[in-house]
Amino acid sequence: MTLHDPSVPEPLHIDAREPEGAAATPAISSVAEADAAVLDNPAWSSLTGHHRHLAHGNEHVLRYPGDVSPFVGVRDWGHPDVWDAILEEFGHGATVSVSHADPLLPAGWAPVFSIPGVQLVQTGRLAPRPDEEALELGAADAADMHALVERTRPGPFELRTHEMGRYVGLRREGRLIAMAGERLHPAGWTEISAVAVDEEHRRQGLASRLVLDVAFHIQQRGDRALLHASANNTSAISGYEKLGFALRRRLSFGAVRTP
């Protein structure tokens, strides 16, 4: 299981141009109470819904296969049996991903790392559109996708992460130089993730094109788009805001070690 190393800064992915004087995006975007419930616990909603075919675990904790994603869904961090359930699923001395929560660890459990992050959701300003050059990626492209992620380090991406949803990319002379796709699928929403562009091809609007393409297909099937980013990646966050996303909440991504 690969977890993003907080010592490695995330690169700038988004080059969204906006006219001078454009109105600033509101700092916080509110959503309906029902949406808030799934957005506050998107991994659990995904693993009990759209991704149930990928889920392993028990009534309190679910996870993806290690070669798909490190994300772990927990029904309720406050339940008295949750820590035993995690230990039952992962065993002793294991590293377990924790996101969208900051639970108080019991004795014997140890933090591994914690990265401040943000969650952004689409607003009415988002104007998605399909991209004629975008190629749908699948199992035959898995090695190229993984290599691009290794070069650009946008976050966790495994050899079967592409099975979580639709991924698209751009190639130049046969080489995959940019991609984006779908990761978590909380009810009614789809997360856009793995937005990556090779360094020599940045500042050409490629990431924006792919994000808008992915968002277009998300909306076509009736879902809404969301994103997560490192809170320190202010350039990417600003780019997402210019595309029509707004900050919904601040959170953390991290991992703990079982006793």
CB 103 within 8 A of CB 114: no
Indicate if the pLDDT at residue 10 is higher than 50. no
Per-residue pLDDT at 27 = 52
258 DSSP 8-state letter: -
Residues 142 and 219 in one domain: yes
Q: Give the mean model confidence (pLDDT) for residues 228-253.
A: 96
Spatial CB neighbours of 53, under 8 Å, sequence gap ≥ 6: none
Decide if 245 is inside a domain: yes
Residues 105 and 216 in one domain: no
- SS3 sequence of 140-151: HHHHHHHHHHHH
Domain end, chosen from 65, 82, 115, is at 115
Decide if 107 is inside a domain: yes
Per-residue pLDDT tens for 90-136? 999 999 999 999 999 999 999 999 999 999 999 999 999 999 999 99
Domain end, chosen from 115, 146, 164, is at 115
Residues 235 and 185 in one domain: yes
Decide if 11 is inside a domain: no
Mean pLDDT of the chain: 90
Dist CA 82 CA 91 (whole Å): 14
Confidence category of residue 244, pLDDT binned at 50, 70, 90: very high
The parent domain of residue 102 ranges over 34-115
Report in angstroms the alpha-carbon separations of 211 from 170, 185, 192, 194, 236: 12, 16, 7, 10, 12
Per-residue pLDDT at 31 = 78
Residues 150 and 61 in one domain: no
CB 154 within 8 A of CB 196: yes
Per-residue pLDDT at 14 = 54
Decide if 225 is inside a domain: yes
Q: What percent of the chain has pLDDT over 90?
A: 85
Residues 97 and 173 in one domain: no
CB 183 within 8 A of CB 69: yes
Indicate if the pLDDT at residue 184 is higher than 90. yes
Which backbone phi and psi does 104 adopt, to 5 degrees? -80, 120
Decide if 16 is inside a domain: no
By C-alpha distance, which of 106, 107, 108, 46 is closest to 75?
A: 46
Residues 97 and 163 in one domain: no
CATH number of the domain enclosing 207: 3.40.630.30
Decide if 75 is inside a domain: yes
Least confident among 12-16, 48-52, 85-89, 181-185: 12-16
Per-residue pLDDT at 22 = 38
Based on its alpha-carbon atoms, the radius of gyration of the chain, rounded to whole angstroms, reads 18
Q: Give the mean model confidence (pLDDT) for residues 132-158.
A: 95
Indicate if the pLDDT at residue 19 is higher than 50. no
Helices marked H in 156-258: 206-220, 234-243
Domain end, chosen from 69, 95, 115, is at 115
Indicate if the pLDDT at residue 164 is higher than 50. yes
Decide if 211 is inside a domain: yes
Decide if 25 is inside a domain: no
Residues 148 and 240 in one domain: yes
Q: Total structural domains in the chain?
A: 2
Residues 124 and 178 in one domain: yes
Q: Give the mean model confidence (pLDDT) for residues 188-216.
A: 97
Residues 247 and 133 in one domain: yes
How many alpha carbons lie under 13 Å from residue 15 in its C-beta half-sphere? 13
Residues 89 and 199 in one domain: no
Q: What percent of the chain has pLDDT over 70?
A: 88
Residues 105 and 208 in one domain: no
Q: Give the mean model confidence (pLDDT) for residues 208-228.
A: 98
Q: Give the mean model confidence (pLDDT) for residues 176-188.
A: 98
Per-residue pLDDT at 100 = 95
Residues 157 and 136 in one domain: yes
